[in-house]
């Protein structure tokens, strides 16, 4: 009889454990871990890179639509040696699912590719005005670039709002001369390195998303 009672208690415990929901642990931006039921957890698509995870956007579209931007005043520029960097909470960067390491020869390393996927100025003009309010940018709009955090030539998503920000001019810029940012030079060098197979696409994307001013050094290209 005692054995039957013990078996009944054990069976009850097993059934109770089987009825418990599996949980997954995710981290909030401040690094705090939160448990949530696995079946209730949803998140934007991401892809693993050498530096962590990058958001995956919808990719090239036949017809782009104006995307909603972060609330006015909710984003804040960072500066490194006077160079502007985006707020990573607002603009962490997002990559295009159409560009992978296996497809670079037919996408970003093919002459003219980025022109075929770039949204029209009708779309980006409206987004730029709204994003300037997001970042509190009050300078000349003609001197600021509506910039892809991960550039199109590095497989950045064309119109995901997580990958676009109003980039102020670099130090030494002459007012009224139009967009002319030092970040463009870094993007070109990374593109050359990726297409020459000196660095992988994922490493280049991760490096520029973290901090474009240190991207070359972090990849041993400076």
Helices (H), 2-69: 2-18
How far is Cα 135 from Cα 154, in angstroms, rounded to an integer?
A: 24
Angle, vertex CA 112, rays to CA 110 and CA 114, nearest 5: 95
Collect all residues with Cβ–Cβ distance below 8 Å to 124 and sequence separation of at least 6.
Answer: 146, 159, 164
Q: What is the CA radius of gyration of the chain?
A: 23
Residue 170 confidence (pLDDT): 86
Whole-angstrom distance, CA of residue 166 vs CA of residue 146 = 5
Residue pLDDT, tens place only, 180-208: 789 999 999 999 999 999 999 999 999 99
pLDDT of residue 171: 81
Pair 165, 93: CB distance under 8 Å? no
Q: What is the pTM of this model?
A: 0.77
How would residue 53 be classed by pLDDT, with cut points 50, 70 and 90? confident
Distance CA 1, CA 5 (A): 6
pLDDT tens digits, 100-154: 999 999 999 999 999 999 999 999 999 999 999 999 999 999 999 999 999 999 9
- What are the phi and psi torsion angles at 143 (to 5°)? -95, -10
Ordered by start, the domain boundaries in the chain are: 1-43, 44-218
Q: What is the model's pLDDT at position 177? A: 58
Q: Scan for tokens 């909603």, then name that residue.
A: 68
């Amino acid at each position: 009889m005692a054995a039957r009672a013990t078996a009944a208690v054990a069976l009850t415990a097993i059934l109770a454990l089987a009825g418990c929901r599996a949980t997954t642990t995710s981290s909030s931006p401040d690094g705090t871990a939160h448990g949530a039921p696995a079946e209730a957890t949803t998140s934007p698509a991401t892809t693993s890179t050498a530096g962590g995870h990058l958001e995956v956007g919808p990719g090239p579209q036949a017809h782009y639509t104006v995307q909603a931007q972060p609330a006015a005043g909710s984003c804040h520029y960072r500066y490194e040696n006077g160079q502007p960097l985006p707020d990573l909470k607002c603009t962490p960067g997002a990559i295009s699912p159409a560009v992978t390491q296996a497809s670079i020869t037919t996408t970003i390393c093919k002459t003219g590719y980025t022109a075929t996927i770039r949204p029209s100025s009708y779309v980006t003009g409206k987004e730029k005005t709204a994003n300037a309010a997001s970042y509190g940018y009050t300078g000349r709009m003609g001197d600021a670039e509506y910039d892809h955090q991960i550039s199109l030539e590095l497989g950045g998503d064309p119109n995901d709002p997580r990958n676009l920000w109003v980039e102020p001019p670099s130090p030494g810029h002459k007012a009224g001369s139009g967009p002319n940012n030092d970040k463009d030079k870094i993007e070109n060098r990374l593109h050359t390195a990726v297409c020459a197979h000196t660095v992988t696409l994922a490493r280049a994307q991760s490096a520029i998303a973290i901090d474009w001013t240190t991207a070359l050094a972090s990849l041993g290209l400076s």
